[in-house]
Amino acid sequence: MSLHSRGIFQAKFVYVVSVLVVSLGVVSLMWRFKDVDWILTVYGLALVLVVTAFAWEIATRAERLDEIVKARTDALAESNRYLSALLEQLNAFHTISYEITQRMDLDEITSEFPERLYGLLPDVDGVWLWLDRRSLGAEVAASNPEESLELVAQAGEDLGAPPELQGLRAGNPLVAACFDEHRVSICRDLPGEASAWGWDWLAGSGLRSFAGCPLEVGERMLGILGVFSRSDMSTGFISQIKLSVNHLAVALEKARLLEETQERAEALAAANEELRQLDAMKDWFVSAVSHELRTPLTSIRSFGEILEHYQDLEPHEREEFAAIIRQESERLSEMIDNMLDLAKIAAGKGAFHPRSFHLPLLVERCCKLFWQEAEERAMEFGHAVPEGLPQVYADEEGVARVLTNLIGNAFKFTQDGGKIEVSAELAERGSGDRELVTVLVSDTGVGIAPEDQPRIFDRFTQVGTDLTGKPGGVGIGLAICREIVQSSNGEIWVRSEPGKGSTFNFTLPTRPSP
């Protein structure tokens, strides 16, 4: 008997006994007087019994009424507690959904949602989030999420799950309904079901129920959210989880679309900038080509007209004018060849035929082309290539063109009486333990400013000036050199100091790349 019930019983007993004692006292007084009629005495005793019974009935009904009031009060308190818990739960779900829908970063959404779900809901003891990251990328939107879902976030207790659950596949009994019927997969007896599946790690975890909710946008599944609990999850609770999961799916899709939009905007901005640069480059190129082509053509036409109209020229004058016409023709032919070669390289049609060859012989052949100019300008010009160097593996004619271009530039930017040297040495091993040979073309010319050095190998770039102070060429010679060297898996760079000269370096492999 509870303390409350015992108190009511004691009060009722005292009340009834008090009425009985008072009634008996009145009857005893009446009996004491002899002249009282015995019928009246009997009537008094009967009245005592009636009053006592009536008092007992009143006390009994008061006890029942008190029990009813207490039961109703307890039920009301329980209802208030349930409504309060439900309100807190709804507020928690509302907070989670609101916070997630405000996020714009994909990784931030996937990491925060499980943590918030676990932290704000006391009935949640574990949250796992599997996502098909491929389906969140526009380039792989057609991938099949049933092949594999990656576990990207986890909150709550570490259950010691096996590695196979890191990648969730169709046919997994825990979330079978998500794949098969596209609905919430519910398990209310985890210990028993896990034992039947042979998952001892889950059977002994102390968890009672599980709900797996598919994350879907339209007909496309983004992933699955799994919620573990040590208590039975109600239908209303699961419905609230499903609603939050829908908000999560919308947030993920919104973040993906935003990320895709930003990437496309950045790509469009980059393309616009590239088009702007190409347009400016085109204008400059047309202007430079027009100027450079006009110069040799003017010389050829002028000296040709002199040879045609002046028949009384001295023989040495005719030879001089013919030599100028030949030189300008060669210069014009070289510029046209460079432009055609660059166009082929840009279109991926450059013809490179790598093979092994002896570098010292090639260096000597290229240097012979400039010996006469070096003598005429009183320049110190030579080459120093060790005979013991291993053969290099590259396109021989391409390497000859690179050497000729670099030596020609050295003569162009070096004053009379200066020094130019071509050398080669065995370099440090490159990536993949490749053996390389470095070729160097050094001069004592005007040099290149540090801020210009990173872009001198770009197409249509003019950063230096020749000894006349005017730009020369159309800025494609070094760009072609870079393409040729890179086609042989080599590198090209420059070290220079204004007023002290430059050294152009490029590497060549000694054997084919594996």
CATH topology assigned to domain 271-342: Helix Hairpins (1.10.287)
Please write the tens of the pLDDT for every residue from 230-244: 888 888 878 878 877
The sign one gets for the Cα dihedral 389, 391, 392, 397 is positive
Band (pLDDT 50/70/90 cuts) for residue 43 is low
CATH of 106-261, one of 3.40.50.10490, 3.30.450.40, 3.30.1330.30, 3.30.590.10: 3.30.450.40
Please write the tens of the pLDDT for every residue from 350-380: 567 788 999 999 999 999 988 988 998 999 9
d(C-alpha 85, C-alpha 410), whole Å? 85
Q: Quick one: which H or E segment has residue 152?
A: strand 149-156
The burial of 294, by beta-carbon neighbours within 10 Å (0-12 exposed, 13-18 middle, 19 or more buried), is given as exposed
Nearest to residue 245, comparing CAs of 122, 440, 100, 424? 100
C-beta of residue 48 within 8 angstroms of C-beta of residue 56 = no
CA angle, corner 178, sides to 173 and 182, nearest 5? 145
pLDDT of the residue at 141: 40
d(C-alpha 224, C-alpha 234), whole Å? 20
d(C-alpha 190, C-alpha 342), whole Å? 69
Residue 453: helix, strand or coil by DSSP? Answer: helix
Cβ partners under 8 Å of residue 31, min gap 6: 41
How far is C-alpha 12 from the chain's CA centre?
A: 79
Domains of the chain, by residue range, sit at: 3-96, 106-261, 271-342, 351-509
- Whether residue 209 has pLDDT greater than 80: yes
d(C-alpha 113, C-alpha 107), whole Å? 10
- Whether residue 330 has pLDDT greater than 70: yes
Q: How many other CB atoms sit within 10 Å of the CB of residue 268?
A: 10
pLDDT of the residue at 471: 44
Band (pLDDT 50/70/90 cuts) for residue 318 is confident
d(C-alpha 128, C-alpha 284), whole Å? 59
**Furthest CA-CA distance within the chain:** 191
Please write the tens of the pLDDT for every residue from 406-425: 998 899 889 999 999 999 99
d(C-alpha 90, C-alpha 256), whole Å? 28
d(C-alpha 192, C-alpha 208), whole Å? 9
Nearest to residue 145, comparing CAs of 221, 93, 56, 32? 221
Residue 39: helix, strand or coil by DSSP? Answer: helix
* Residues composing the chain: 514
CATH of 351-509, one of 3.40.50.2300, 3.40.50.300, 3.30.70.920, 3.30.565.10: 3.30.565.10
pLDDT of the residue at 291: 55
Q: Quick one: which H or E segment has residue 273?
A: helix 235-309
d(C-alpha 297, C-alpha 159), whole Å? 83
What token pair was written down for 89? 């739960």
- 267 or 148, which is more confident: 267
- Whether residue 436 has pLDDT greater than 70: yes
How far is C-alpha 335 from the chain's CA centre?
A: 45
Cβ partners under 8 Å of residue 30, min gap 6: 36, 40, 41, 44
d(C-alpha 127, C-alpha 232), whole Å? 15
- Whether residue 180 has pLDDT greater than 90: no
Q: Quick one: which H or E segment has residue 243?
A: helix 235-309
pLDDT of the residue at 136: 58
- Whether residue 463 has pLDDT greater than 70: no
- Whether residue 219 has pLDDT greater than 60: yes
pLDDT of the residue at 387: 81
Task: Report the pLDDT averaged over residues 91-111.
Answer: 68
C-beta of residue 43 within 8 angstroms of C-beta of residue 36 = no
pLDDT of the residue at 469: 46
Cβ partners under 8 Å of residue 223, min gap 6: 129, 130, 131, 132, 145, 149, 152, 214, 215
Band (pLDDT 50/70/90 cuts) for residue 142 is very low
C-beta of residue 224 within 8 angstroms of C-beta of residue 205 = no
Tally of helices (H runs) and strands (E runs) in the chain: 12, 13
- 277 or 72, which is more confident: 72
Please write the tens of the pLDDT for every residue from 127-138: 888 888 665 553
Question: CA 308 → CA 50, 100, 321, 440, distances in Å?
Answer: 160, 86, 11, 46
Question: Which amino acid belongs to residue 340?
Answer: L
- 99 or 510, which is more confident: 510
